[in-house]
Amino acid sequence: MTTTATSFELHLGDCLTGMKQLPTSSVDLVVTSPPYNLGTSYSTYIDTLDRADYLEWTRCWAAEIRRVLKPEGSFFLNVGAAPSNPLMPHQILLALVPDLFHLQNTFHWIKSITVDTRDGDEISVGHFKPINSQRFVNDCHEFIYHLTPDGRVPLDRRAVGVAYVHKSNITRWGHTGGQDKRCRGNNWFIPYETIQRRSAERPHPATFPVSLAARCIGITGLPPSEMTMLEPFLGIGHAALAARQTGVAKFIGFEIDEQYFAEAEARLNRTNDS
Amino acid sequence: MTTTATSFELHLGDCLTGMKQLPTSSVDLVVTSPPYNLGTSYSTYIDTLDRADYLEWTRCWAAEIRRVLKPEGSFFLNVGAAPSNPLMPHQILLALVPDLFHLQNTFHWIKSITVDTRDGDEISVGHFKPINSQRFVNDCHEFIYHLTPDGRVPLDRRAVGVAYVHKSNITRWGHTGGQDKRCRGNNWFIPYETIQRRSAERPHPATFPVSLAARCIGITGLPPSEMTMLEPFLGIGHAALAARQTGVAKFIGFEIDEQYFAEAEARLNRTNDS
DNA sequence: AGAGCCGCTGAATCCTTTT
DNA sequence: CAAAAGGATTCAGCGGCTC
């Protein structure tokens, strides 16, 4: 067993009140997925604010994130659409940009896709969740907005890079340092864990995979051992798990729902033992 | 040689003036990619309107599309982002929805992506265009907004469908008709032709592949032989080529730039001969 | 509200081979 | 030849979301 100087603070309570007690410019990284206000059945959260109120509330907690974020910090905001409200991801973005943040990058979380291989055949990857509709196609996509204070935050693209297709590129340019890694681009294929495994373990209806948060941590290029990470909507703690896995020094999370909070704590403790 | 009762009208001139002469509710399908006003070096188009003017102009031509579109017609709007203006796709959308159109579906044109196969290994597909930046990752994505008058236009999802992963599904339900086809979802992987081939042939800086337009034609489920299709920003005529290939009965295109117009005509004629 | 959809699983069934 | 073991195929059912 290794001992690391890490601190994980999980707070049961409203993130808006909680964040107000954090010092200005103290956080390197925020990864979060807010309640969508789309009728998704959250446990206790009052999920029925009307549109304008919802966007106003969004601006409120985002403004707190802006305050606690360091000038070179990054805020990864995960937002998906819903058939009942396909505009929400766009409206949320324009509620925050350009007033509070710059949109430095837009990542696309691809859950399922069919691609043509170089051999010429089509392969489907990821879990395809069917919907029965004459007019809607299945939505296999969510946004990950990369928001920063000035739009000029340096990243380490190759930290979450992929192998070159043509290996000649490894020695072709100096920046590779001999490693077979190039930038991954902004399409992030991250399949869901299978339904059965999910339902057995967790009750949260809208959550992102641990590996998605891990990728956000990685691309910042900051050493996790010196990183302070914040998750205002902890949910069942996937950002916390990613922080633990990658060795993030300080993690602060808020969750207003008791059930989710308990689940997040349980999962984090489970990881501690293993 | 087969004779088909098709009519292809390519007009040299401004689409706004041109569309005003089209009858109301006469068009089944619009597929277009507007000038982005992002500093892309279009030949003669005055590409320096300021933001508000650009969006106002966008509303103008979109309103004409709304007028000429049939109640069950579809408008596929292709918009990409640019590092210099990452908000544009979102602003354009919210300039048109909900005032003029419903956003019925959002398709994502994926040009390049790295996926994990079911075998466990990572493969990269599509042409990856490198950019040299500390803060921006490569953008391998564009939006295709599916806009309709009322959001209730029926589609034929399986017309552009993909094969089942588990073949047991073919006979499991009646709707397949024995065919190995399911809905493709909203992530459309369509790789670019290679740069070399592009630059050799065509001068247009921002255009979508023929196969992208073909997919839009296909998913409407309308018989091409009875379809009227409109492309207000013809460019070098990729929508026209797709219309020709799929047998669209009537195609109307506008292009204000003489060079692009000539190129579009040349390409269409070339296809005629073959 | 009730049916439909599709990846995925695990149990059940069927066919083959070994003892 | 019967019985057991091993392998392959089939099939119901889950889950989430829409009409």
Give domain status of residue A57, yes or no. yes
Q: How far apart are CA A165 and CA A168, in angstroms?
A: 9
Tell if A87 CB is < 7 Å from nucleic strand D: no
Please report the pLDDT score of residue A4 as a whole number: 62
Please report the pLDDT score of residue B49 as a whole number: 56
Whether B124 sits inside 8 A of A162 (CB atoms) is: yes
Q: Is residue A220's pLDDT more than 80?
A: yes
Average pLDDT, integer, range A243-253: 97
Which letter, b or e, does each residue of A206-245 get, where b requires 16 or more Cβ atoms within 10 Å of its Cβ? Answer: bbbbbbbbbbbbbbbbbebeebbbbbbbbbbbbbbbbbbe
Please report the pLDDT score of residue A272 as a whole number: 65
Assign residue B91 the CATH number of its domain.
3.40.50.150
B166 vs A contacts (CB less than 8 Å):
none
Q: Is cis: bond before B98, omega within 30 of 0?
A: yes
pTM attached to this predicted model:
0.92
Please report the pLDDT score of residue A201 as a whole number: 40
Residues 65-124 of B with CB under 7 A from strand C: 118
Gap from A161 CA to C8 C1', in Å?
Answer: 30
Decide if A183 contacts B138 (C-beta within 8 A).
yes
Q: How far apart are CA A154 and CA A160, in angstroms?
A: 14
Please report the pLDDT score of residue A89 as a whole number: 94
Please report the pLDDT score of residue B173 as a whole number: 77
Give domain status of residue A250, yes or no. yes
Of residues B203, B136, B128, B190, the one with CA closest to residue B160 = B190
Q: Which residues 175-214 of B have a C-beta within 8 angstroms of A?
A: 182-187, 189, 191
Decide if B147 contacts B61 (C-beta within 8 A).
no
Q: CB-CB: which of A118, A135, A182 is closest to B155?
A: A135
Mean pLDDT of chain A: 86
Q: CB-CB: which of B114, B130, B135 is closest to A189?
A: B114
Q: Is residue A40's pLDDT more than 70?
A: no
Give domain status of residue B239, yes or no. no
Strands B141-148 and B250-255: unpaired
The percent of residues above 70 in pLDDT, for chain A, comes to: 84
Tell if B143 CB is < 7 Å from nucleic strand C: no
Give domain status of residue B195, yes or no. yes
A78-136 confidence digits (pLDDT tens): 999 887 789 999 999 999 999 999 999 999 999 999 999 988 889 999 989 889 899 99
Please report the pLDDT score of residue A230 as a whole number: 98
For residue B185, what is the nearest residue in chain A, using CA coordinates?
A: A138
The percent of residues above 90 in pLDDT, for chain A, comes to: 64
- The larger pLDDT score, comparing residue A59 to residue A162, is at A59
Give domain status of residue B67, yes or no. yes
Decide if B151 contacts B103 (C-beta within 8 A).
yes
Please report the pLDDT score of residue A203 as a whole number: 46
Please report the pLDDT score of residue B8 as a whole number: 96
Please report the pLDDT score of residue B197 as a whole number: 44
Provide the pLDDT confidence category of residue A148 given band limits of 50, 70 and 90.
very high
Q: How far apart are CA A10 and CA B41, in angstroms?
A: 51
Please report the pLDDT score of residue B206 as a whole number: 63
Please report the pLDDT score of residue B51 as a whole number: 81
Which bases of chain D are contacted by protein, using any atom under 7 A from a CB? Answer: 10-12, 14-19
Residues 94-133 of A with CB under 7 A from strand D: 129-133
Tell if A199 CB is < 7 Å from nucleic strand D: yes
Is B134 touching A (CB cutoff 8 A)? yes
A130 vs B contacts (CB less than 8 Å):
182-183
Residues β-bridged to residue B74: B29
Question: Could you list the residue range(s) of the whole structural domain that residue A151 is in?
Answer: 7-273
3-class state of residue B43 by DSSP: coil
Tell if A205 CB is < 7 Å from nucleic strand D: yes
What is the number of structural domains in chain B?
1
Provide the pLDDT confidence category of residue A37 given band limits of 50, 70 and 90.
low
Which bases of chain C are contacted by protein, using any atom under 7 A from a CB? Answer: 3-10
Tell if A198 CB is < 7 Å from nucleic strand C: no
Provide the pLDDT confidence category of residue A6 given band limits of 50, 70 and 90.
confident
Is B107 touching A (CB cutoff 8 A)? yes
Give domain status of residue A2, yes or no. no
Give domain status of residue A1, yes or no. no
Q: CB-CB: which of B94, B123, B183 is closest to A137?
A: B183
Q: CB-CB: which of A107, A155, A189 is closest to B115?
A: A189
Tell if A194 CB is < 7 Å from nucleic strand D: no
B104, closest nucleotide (Cα–C1'): D18
Quick one: angle between helices A238-246 and A210-220, nearest 10?
50
Give domain status of residue B266, yes or no. no
* Furthest CA-CA distance within chain B: 56
Gap from B179 CA to C13 C1', in Å?
Answer: 26
Q: Is residue A205's pLDDT more than 80?
A: no
Average pLDDT, integer, range A139-166: 93
Both structure tokens of B48: 């320096």
Q: Is residue A195's pLDDT more than 50?
A: no
Across A132-141, A145-154, B214-223, least confident range: A132-141
Q: CB-CB: which of B110, B136, B152 is closest to A113?
A: B110
Please report the pLDDT score of residue A181 as a whole number: 87
3-class state of residue A102 by DSSP: strand
Low-confidence ranges of chain B (pLDDT < 50): 40-44, 195-203, 274
Q: How far apart are CA B184 and CA B170, in angstroms?
A: 15
